[in-house]
């Protein structure tokens, strides 16, 4: 870490910083400046830089080490491709996951799977365990929902991803799913992340609505550090002062993640927008900016959906949109 | 809900909105304006207002009903007092919880308890299960930590609150704690909230860093709606663009919650500030604005703390601060 | 406006709201609900809805009327095309404005103009009056800069846009420029907006970093309401908690503005990103999402630029990027 | 500045950074780390650190120098007291400015002055030039308003502060006012700040709603660097995702500014809250946290105010509040 001393800090204060740094396991290295001095603390000492920050004569402390290693492109330079039951994330193919917010019935999810497959989606989505802001809202069908998803997979051949919200359910969901989904609200549910890191199934990890990109990669690190290397990231909008959309899609997250990490990343335009009529435009932007794929809410009958109907495309709109993004994919050297 | 039609929307579009509303279980009621018309949909119909929002000719839909009931002051007009093993939250007494971020050893927590009791704190805090942003940071002592906390309680008589992060640990923590603590990262861990709502021990519920006040009260509703009426809220800072402090303490949250809800609410100045030297000023502001108490990080030796050392007061500073806030409490008609 | 009464509000309180509404020039219209009542106040009364919001028995007040008219698509349904000395904004052609942040010398701006014209840009940008966060930074060449810009226009035929920051300079800038530019910091400099509305030259209006989309359209309304109909909007990123990019490009702003307003809108990826290597990806996203054009920082020698060098493309990268976005434009049915 | 190299950056890349640094006028100083190297660039070179940030092998660049000098407590260690026609800001006395948002008539402002003086306010506020989000709202009385303010001063002896929004009006406002007020929307209206720095009257500088504390101090630096040392800062809330209050009062701004700067700072609870009934609680918090004073909106008849009625206290509430904050002031060792 770099310790910036105050203008006019005394030699004694500088020496105390050096001593404290040594005590914490660092090797101090002073740079004498015209206006103020700076101490580099080299090595892998105790990480609590706040302690130094609060010493007399210290203006600020700047961290040098990135908190994530396994997720970092500095450590692994080649981009990772994640395989989910034969479907690839990363590389030159754009992969689209589609389906309803929640599994509502066998018929609904099988129909959804058939529609989205016909339109070109490679994977199905559908929630069996729903985290809802209100305790009075529909909370999902649970294991029954997982069975319907499996039925849909059998009939269409589409692998599926589904959310797990409780560490207790990891084993249950494991039995059915092709890919775990971690929702935005659970980005720092470390108990859950750790357990998922101990399984051998891929994880779709959604960014939280107040999570910085570095914290997002730290959450991925929780999974990677337990041994599970198959993490696909998902940008789904952050919370800002703007209320015209449900969240603010942070489209720049894609080039930033591509620079800092080797992990594949897709975009969820449905949760970002909160209104289905903005979804096609945002999907085109997602492909153009370099995302590896999309996860889109599609419902056979959005007006009667039990959750998120307003942000779900109906099958016709989804087919139309898939045609549009196929062309955009070609224009940036990818295909679908 | 109120449906605002577009300027120039046709009669047919207006009629479709009314029909759809009726279909969803509402009674439509049209207000004809000079510039545009408005439809009131009265009653308790299906709540997916997004569906109506996306109909032709509709400009916007405005919700009328608040999503929380049991947490609302409209429903219960008298302020609630929560009793935690004889310590009160709510009313004219300011209650201070203090202690280290994490339990590190029996000696550390017993000493902490003695110090904070001597200074006037009524409850002890200390984490046995720590949610950490990095998988490589100290994660807490687990059940051993709970035993040390109990030991500290035995020696000082101070009840304690400690965080539970995993639904799986609720039974274990229940055996030891006087009050569950739900951290900011778990504000929408609904599986955890539901389980805590089924216990008979009080819950200290911290606001998430991107949680609106209404969502905060919704999270409380999850606990209340399961039957546990003993919820104490805690404002601990929200995430904004400002980086001078770790979070931005939303001090206005106190008068807003006091207007909307009957639940007691305290402030955590330590996590809001992120630097111990801002804690006394923020604590004084917290008491002056009308908070029912504080939860403050105090460590017998902050420079060697295993977590959050930079934001922990040492015992001397804590004693000094307690004297100051006692005077501020008197100035607003309360006591400690 | 719609007045939502509290649960249990008395008849007297309801009547007071109706009387107050009438006094303010509205016609009150009560909707009796199961749980609570609602009052519609119809007509064009005094706009201070806060007064009603603070009356006894009132829970909330919801506005119905949009604050902007002339900028609204409800009022003017066809999209507007703005002509700047023969260059069009709006319609099926993507228009790219490019050039350095600041005019530094005649040679620099003439060279820049030649480079960006060769790459396909239709307009030149360059600041003569620079608003800088620090009083110690380069503040621009003033009128000399305007002369150099005119020289560059003469040599290349490219019209230019340049920022005006002071109402006092409007007349001076008018003499030279083809299009006024209003920077993000001046989005609510109403004195400036009013003066620009009284001229007959087009205005490029940049969104402020904490401006909602509705406030952005209100700022446009200031110009339109003075008689100047030639406003081109520009999204350039908003301020959020994320620090990986200089600002967070709000890409969703494009489909939202296209739904609410008839005005053309372009994107500034350079200020949003703050790093030139993110600019090509964001530019492709901008075209794909439906923006009418781009304004991009290009400098003949970014490493020695007097401002914003880090976010400026060099001519080679700009040429390469222009080729890429041309393909993306075609993929969404537009051309360059 | 400190240049952090990437893990695995080559020696050649390190050398290029050193050379570039020298070329820019710095003295390079390499610290060799276990994992990565760091280059300190010492001295006062060219400030564009983005150029270095974009070089090959560079991970990040960290600034060392604070961008403000004259506003900094590092440079001037004693707190500044600003005198406004005999009224002091800074020191042990709490100074309250009060009055209506806008001057509406001679009677209204004279009455306001009498009321607020009777309650203990030391200065009057009132807007003659109003920046309004909508071009259709009341824009203020202009010079007529300034005359009424002067009349109120004559009758009560209270000096006044009034907003100036246009550089063109600085001379005019100078003739009447005791203290210029710069509103939140003009925090980066550098033309205005520069002109005010050239006058000899004190300036009340309000923080912008998306302005960091460091940018706030930079705006003060604009005024100070022109020679005017009489700047009083004012925190009035920042824009966040929370909508329960008009803005989010950043109460922590006070201890942070007190640490970084010697300038006095007051709080505007009225604009922060947006509702008068939150104002007393926030005012008490402001005094307790260490602010040097308050600026509060008070109107003789808030229900009929031409602007900001909802956030204005009536005279009775203001008197009551003044009594409360007097007690809080005593509790923190100050007086009113």
Residues C285, A281: C-beta atoms closer than 8 Å: no
CB pairs under 8 A between C and D: 117
Dump the DSSP string for C138-169.
Answer: ----THHHHHHHHHHHHHH---EEEE---GGG
Out of B54, B185, B276, name the one closest to residue A188 (CB): B185
Phi, psi of D162 (to 5 degrees): -145, 150
Task: Return left, alpha or beta for B84; rule: phi > 0 is left, psi -120 to 50 is alpha, else beta.
Answer: beta
Which chain C residues contact residue A285 at CB under 8 A? 251, 285-286, 288-289
Check whether residue B13 and residue B131 sit in a common domain.
no
* A285, pLDDT greater than 70: yes
pLDDT in tens, C287-297: 999 999 999 99
Confidence band for D153, pLDDT divided at 50, 70 and 90: very high
Q: How many Å apart are CA B257 and CA C75, to the nearest integer? A: 40
> Considering only CB atoms, which chain B residues are within 8 Å of C40?
31, 38, 40
pLDDT at B31: 86
- Mean of pLDDT values over C103-107: 95
| Chain D residues touching chain B at CB-CB below 8 Å | 210, 212-214, 238, 240-245, 248-256, 259, 272-273, 277-278, 281-282, 284-290, 324, 327-328, 330-332
Against chain A, the chains showing at least 3 CB pairs within 8 Å are B, C, D
Q: Which residues share a beta bridge with A335?
A: A93
* Residue B232 pLDDT class (50, 70, 90 cuts): very high
Mode of pairing for the β-strands spanning B82-84 and B87-89: antiparallel
3-state per-residue secondary structure call for chain D: CEEEECCCCCHHHHHHHHHHHHHCCCEEEEEECCCCEEEEEECCCCCCHHHHHCCCCEEEEECCCCCCCCCECCCCCCCCCEEECCEEECCCECEEEEECCECCCHHHHHHHHHHHHHHCCCEEECECCCCCCCCCCCCCCCHHHHHHHHHHHHHHCCCEEEECCCHHHHHHHHHHCCEEEECHHHCCCHHHHHHHHCCCCCEEEECCCCCCHHHHHHHHHHHHCCCCCCEEEEECCECCCCCCCCCECECCHHHHHHHHECCCEEECHHHHHCCHHHHHHHHHHHHHHCCCEEEEEECCCHHHCCCCHHHCECHHHHHHHHHHHHHHHHHCCCEC
Band of pLDDT at residue A35, cut at 50, 70 and 90: confident
| Chain C: residue whose CA lies nearest to B75 | C7
Q: What is the reported pLDDT for D7?
A: 84
Contacts of residue B294, defined as CB under 8 A and 6 or more positions apart, other chains included, come to: B94, B95, B96, B97, B98, B266, B267, B268, B269, B283, B286, B287, B325
Q: Which residues of C are less than 8 Å from D23 in CB distance?
A: none
Of B134-138, B147-151, C166-170, D70-74, the one with minimum mean pLDDT is B134-138
Closest-CA residue of chain B to A185: B188
Give pLDDT, residue A44. Answer: 64
The answer to the question of residue B123 being in a domain is yes
Clarify whether residues B232 and B90 are in a common domain.
yes
- Does D245 contact B252 at a Cβ distance shorter than 8 Å? yes
Mean pLDDT of B73-92: 94
Rounded to 10 degrees, the C-alpha dihedral C64/C67/C73/C75 comes to 80
Give the CATH number of the domain where residue C42 resides. Answer: 3.30.70.1140
Q: Tokens 């009777």 appear where?
A: D118
Sort strands A87-89 and A2-5 into parallel, antiparallel or unpaired: unpaired
Q: Are residues B303 and B221 both part of a single domain?
A: yes
Which chain B residues contact residue A189 at CB under 8 A? Answer: 165, 185-186, 189
CB contact under 8 A, D277 and B259: yes
Do D234 and D93 lie in one domain? The reply is yes
CA A186 → CA A162, A217, A231, B246, D276, distances in Å?
Answer: 14, 14, 15, 21, 38
Q: Which residues of D touch B244 (CB under 8 A)?
A: 212-214, 252-253, 256
User: pLDDT per residue over C21-68, tens digit each?
Assistant: 888 888 888 888 877 888 888 876 665 677 788 788 888 888 777 778
Percentage of residues in chain B having pLDDT higher than 70: 99
Q: Nearest by CB to B74, which of C2, C6, C40?
A: C6
How many angstroms separate the Cα of D126 from the Cα of each of C211, D103, D141? Answer: 25, 5, 11
Q: What is the pLDDT of residue C219?
A: 95
Among A134, A241, A299, the strongest candidate for a mutation testing the B interface, having the largest count of B CBs within 10 A, is: A134
Q: Are residues D49 and D91 in the same domain?
A: no
* More confident site: A136 or B107: B107
Q: Which residue in A244, A252, A285 is closest to C213 by CB distance? A: A244
Q: What per-residue confidence (pLDDT) applies to B205?
A: 98
Residues A108 and A216 in one domain: yes
Residue D100's pLDDT band (cuts 50, 70, 90) = very high
Name residue, tokens 């003739």: D175
pLDDT band at D117 (very low <50, low <70, confident <90, very high): very high
Q: Which of chain C's residues have a Cβ under 8 Å away from the Cβ of B43?
A: 33-34
Question: Do residue C54 and residue D186 have CB atoms under 8 angstroms apart?
Answer: no
Contact C74 B44 (CB under 8 A): no
To probe the interface with C, which of B21, B31, B240 has the most C CB atoms within 10 Å?
B31
- In B, minimum Cα distance to C242 occurs at B241
Of the two residues A43 and B218, the one the predictor is more confident about is B218
Name the residue among D254, D259, D281 with its Cβ closest to that of B289: D281
Shortest distance, CA B216 to any CA of chain A (angstroms):
10
Of B48, B189, B218, the CB nearest to A309: B48
- Residue B165 in any domain: the answer is yes
Nearest Cβ partner of C287 from A213, A282, A288?
Answer: A288
pLDDT, tens only, B290-311: 999 999 999 998 888 877 778 8
> Both D58 and D87 in a single domain?
no
Tokens 């802001």 correspond to what residue? Answer: A133
Q: Percent of chain B, pLDDT > 90?
A: 73
Q: Is residue B74 part of a domain?
A: no
Do C151 and C46 reside in the same domain of the chain? Answer: no
Does residue A77 lie in a domain region?
Answer: no
Tell me if A293 is assigned to some domain. yes
Least confident range of A82-86, A287-291, D26-30:
D26-30
Mean pLDDT of C134-151: 90
Q: Are C219 and C205 in contact (CB under 8 A)?
A: yes
What number of C-beta contacts closer than 8 Å exist between B and C?
Answer: 58
Within 8 A of D59 by CB-CB distance, chain A residues are 66, 74
Nearest to D184 by CA among D231, D233, D236, D240: D236
Of the given ranges (A22-26, A163-167, A279-283), which has the lowest mean pLDDT?
A: A22-26
Q: What is the pLDDT of residues A95-113, one digit of tens each?
A: 999 999 999 999 999 999 9
Record: contact D7-A32, CB cut-off 8 A: no
pLDDT band at A59 (very low <50, low <70, confident <90, very high): confident
Residue C192 sits in a domain whose CATH number is 3.20.20.70
**pLDDT > 70? residue B115:** yes
Q: What single DSSP character describes residue C127?
A: B
Q: How far apart are CA C49 and CA D68, in angstroms?
A: 42
User: Who among B248, B259, B277 is closest to D240 (CB)?
Assistant: B248
What residues of chain A have any CB closer than 8 angstroms to a CB in chain C? Answer: 210, 212-214, 238, 240-245, 248-256, 259, 272-273, 277-278, 281-282, 284-290, 324, 327-328, 330-332
pLDDT at position A175: 97
Q: Which residues of C touch D226 (CB under 8 A)?
A: 135
Q: Please check whether residues B274 and B176 belong to one and the same domain.
A: yes
Number of domains into which chain B is organized = 2
What would the pLDDT profile of D260-303 be if each residue is shown by its tens digit? 999 999 999 999 999 999 999 999 999 999 999 999 999 998 88
Q: Which chain A residues are within 8 Å of C248, Cβ to Cβ?
A: 238, 240, 248, 250, 252
pLDDT of residue D280: 98
Is the pLDDT at A50 greater than 90? The verdict is no
Chains meeting B at 3+ CB pairs closer than 8 A?
A: A, C, D
Task: Assign A306 a pLDDT band (cuts: 50, 70, 90).
Answer: confident
DSSP β-bridge partners for residue B45:
none
Lowest mean pLDDT among A133-137, B24-28, B297-301, D19-23: A133-137
Neighbouring chains of D at 3+ CB pairs under 8 Å are: A, B, C
D4/A64 Cβ within 8 A: yes
Among B254, B205, B207, which residue's Cα sits nearest to residue B230?
Answer: B205
Contact between chains at A50 and B189 (C-beta distance less than 8 A): no
Q: Are residues A22 and A143 in the same domain?
A: no
pLDDT band at B34 (very low <50, low <70, confident <90, very high): confident
With CB atoms and an 8 Å threshold, state whether A59 touches D65: no
Q: How high is the pLDDT of residue D67?
A: 77
Mean pLDDT to the nearest integer, B217-233: 96
Q: What rounded mean pLDDT belongs to chain D?
A: 92
Q: What is the pLDDT of residue C45?
A: 62
Together in a domain, D325 and D201: yes
Mean pLDDT of chain C: 92
pLDDT at B1: 83
Which residues of chain D make contact with C68, given a CB cutoff of 8 A? 134
- Provide, rounded to the nearest whole percent, the portion of chain A with pLDDT above 70: 99
Closest residue on chain B to C72 (Cα): B7
Q: Could you tell me the residue range of the domain that residue C21 belongs to? A: 2-62
**Mean pLDDT, residues B18-27:** 88
**Closest Cα in chain A, distance from residue C63 (Å):** 15
* Residue from the list C131, C221, C302 with its beta carbon closest to the beta carbon of D135: C221
- How many Cβ pairs closer than 8 A exist between chain A and C? 127
Alpha-carbon gap: D251 to the closest alpha carbon of chain C (Å): 18
Whether residues A226 and A303 fall in one domain: yes
> What's the mean pLDDT in A276-301?
96
């Amino acid at each position: 870490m770099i310790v910036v001393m105050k203008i006019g800090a005394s030699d004694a204060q500088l020496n105390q910083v050096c001593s404290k740094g040594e005590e914490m396991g660092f090797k101090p290295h002073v740079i004498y400046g015209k206006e103020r001095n700076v101490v580099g603390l080299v090595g892998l000492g105790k990480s609590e830089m706040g302690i130094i920050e609060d010493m007399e004569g210290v203006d600020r402390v700047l961290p040098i080490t990135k908190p994530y290693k396994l997720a970092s492109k500095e450590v692994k330079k080649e981009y990772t491709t994640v395989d989910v039951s034969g479907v690839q994330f990363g590389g030159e193919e754009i992969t689209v996951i589609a389906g309803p917010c929640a599994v509502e019935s066998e018929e609904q999810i099988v129909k959804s799977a058939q529609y989205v497959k016909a339109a070109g989606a490679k994977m199905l989505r559908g929630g069996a365990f729903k985290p809802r802001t209100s305790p009075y809202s529909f909370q999902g069908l649970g294991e029954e929902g997982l069975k319907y998803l499996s039925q849909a997979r059998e009939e269409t051949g589409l692998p599926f991803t589904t959310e797990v919200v409780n560490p207790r359910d990891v084993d249950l969901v494991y039995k059915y799913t092709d890919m775990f989904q971690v929702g935005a609200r659970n980005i720092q549910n470390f108990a859950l992340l750790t357990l998922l890191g101990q399984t051998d199934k891929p994880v779709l990890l959604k960014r939280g609505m107040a999570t910085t990109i570095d914290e997002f990669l730290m959450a991925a690190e929780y999974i990677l550090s337990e041994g599970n290397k198959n993490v696909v990231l998902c940008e789904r909008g952050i919370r800002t002062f703007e209320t015209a959309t449900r969240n603010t899609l942070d489209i720049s997250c894609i080039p930033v993640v591509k620079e800092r990490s080797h992990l594949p990343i897709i975009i969820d335009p449905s949760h970002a927008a909160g209104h289905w009529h903005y979804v096609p435009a945002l999907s085109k932007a997602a492909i153009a900016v370099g995302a590896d794929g999309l996860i889109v809410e599609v419902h056979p009958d959005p007006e009667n959906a039990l959750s998120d109907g307003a942000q779900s495309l109906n099958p016709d709109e989804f087919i139309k949109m898939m045609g549009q993004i196929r062309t955009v994919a070609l224009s940036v050297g990818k295909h679908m």
